[in-house]
Amino acid sequence: MTSTSSPIAEKSVASEPRWDLEKHFGYASASDTKIDDEMTSIERACEDFKKTFEGKLDAELLEAIEAYEGIELTLTRALSYVSLSADTRLSDDNMQKRKASLMQRYGQASGNFLTWFNLELAALDEAVVAAQYEKSDKLRTYKPFVDEVRRSAPYNLSKEVERALSVRSSFAGKGKVVEFYGNELSRLKFDMDGKQVNMEVLLAKMTSSRDAAERAKCMKTLNDGLKDFERTAALSLNMVAGSWHIEMKERGFKTLRSQRNLSNNLPDDVVDSLLQAVGTTGVDYCKKYYALKKQILKHTQGLDKFTWSDRNASIDIGKGEDKYTWEQAVDLVRDGYNKFSPTMAKLFMDMVEEKRIDVPAQDGKRGGAYCSSSFGSGPFQLLNFTGTQRDVATLAHESGHGAHFILCYEQGILQFHPPLTLAETASIFGEMIVFRDLLEKTPSDEDRLAMIMSKVDDIINSVVRQCSFDQFEEKVHNARANGTLTPEELATAWREVMVNYYGEEGEVFDSYENTSQLYAYVSHFHNVPFYVYAYAFGDLLVGSLYGAYMKQPEGFEEKLLDLLRAGGTKDFVDAVSPFGLDPASPTFWSDALHAHLGGLMEEAEELSKKLGYSS
């Protein structure tokens, strides 16, 4: 495709760099008294905000929004810095105490002096809001923010109750338990061949090993280690599900997911349709895929028994790279992005060169990976890079988030963040771009099959597995309404969901041995209930978008960049309409599954037959 941007020059990068937060935020350290001075200033500003504007939004809405925006800007800077710093120092009790103290100050200021604002804005008469729009063009630029706040009106409680809930949240309730769960999870160590390793290293070893016995050993080590953690995980899950249940009841949400769907401006039936399609068409593809993988592993690794520990096993064929240095990973992502969008490639390299990525897998660091928006200072990526092909995909994914944030910062702090329905668009598209670029470079049919199988692994994990997680949450939350769940009951629910999505033992997987405690390390259940369907949503949307790109590449880059720049100012339907996609179609999600998985599965089956791995 053509682009008006010029290709970027290749630039060198340091080995496994750490992010440089102090440079970007302007603080000397997390204990810098400048942070305390800013928090004191914010507290005063919050108090003044309430005194100045409460009860006056019917006449001074624009002025109030601008003042609120200023508070959010200053607050985000301080809290983002401390939170990011704390995520690489989870074993430092003083660091965690510092973070908790600042969060408590924020909770008090927000609860006492800011909570009223959204409630009063949501309750304003429509005619009053319309009249102020008529008088101010600038106020109309905030309409997406105003609309988002006002959607919550039917579910809001009284000012007194909302204030009480807010000021208590940083001192008590589920938040502190979830924080404890996350910190303890990051501290877990597993005994592997006499050496203590963290979970990220153990999971990477299980995926990359070509030895089924070693993979099984890793799985047992993981499951046994999590057994000692199950009571902590159960406590946190019970707190989260119990809190979600009482909020749903008190606020009047109709279904378990309604609260999450509201924040994403999605009707319940759209999400239900997605879950239904994945639970049928997606599950069919899932079983078909693992049956194929089972045959390939039997021929290439002499696998006798296909167990859960073999689910993400790499296909040991071809001569392609299976281990990457950080420099190689950067080159791969840069080159892949540059082929599709020089704009995104440059944004990626800016993040690398400006030390916005914390790369190595280290003890005392939060597990997994994420990209923080950190409006005004960000974005910043946290990785746990061990050099696998999946780590390269993760870099491409999180860098897509980073590029997305940079592009939509122009919408301002109140409207930049994309809704969940679009939040994974750039990240998953980034993964797809890098995958397609690498696929073109494969030297043989064996390498091509190995790459396709790895990509389908990722799609199945993002779509089917994440929707299975959603069903697990549904089971847990429904049961929690009737009382606290024991670790044994959580393990039973986990097994039931595995059977629902992957079949009974013997259908595809010969054994689910050593899987009973795996629910305990899925942090999304605790941090963001019913978020997991976002991955399926994003992956299938990107599959549809990529299909549109292949049909009509001319002009596609600018359409996609426009979608990303819009941030939170467009809803899902408006955002995808320029690409000729119709989410209202009853077959939208099943069509997306066929488009996204069908072609890859067909090629994998053909290559497998050609190479003699399947009949």
Closest CA to 142 of 55, 64, 62, 72: 62
Please give the backbone phi and psi of residue 319, each rounded to the nearest 5 degrees, phi first. Answer: -120, 10
- Block residue for tokens 């779509």: 463
Q: Is 55 left (phi over 0), alpha (psi -120 to 50) or beta?
A: left
pLDDT of res. 8: 43
Secondary structure element (H or E) that encloses residue 72, with its range: helix 57-87
pLDDT of res. 2: 30
pLDDT of res. 358: 97
pLDDT of res. 320: 65
Beta bridge partners of 380: 372
Low-confidence spans in the chain with pLDDT less than 70: 1-15, 320-322
Q: Does domain 31-172 match CATH 1.20.140.70?
A: yes
Around Cβ 456, how many Cβ atoms within 10 Å? 22
Within its chain, how far is the Cα of 57 from the centroid?
35
Beta bridge partners of 372: 380
Rounded to 10°, the helix 445-460/283-301 angle is 140
3-class SS at 613? coil
Q: Are 399 and 100 in contact (CB under 8 A)?
A: no
Torsion of CA 196, 200, 201, 204, to 10 degrees: 150
pLDDT of res. 321: 62
**Domain extent listing, the chain:** 31-172, 181-319+461-538+588-610, 326-440
Interatomic CA distance for residues 603 and 445, integer angstroms = 11
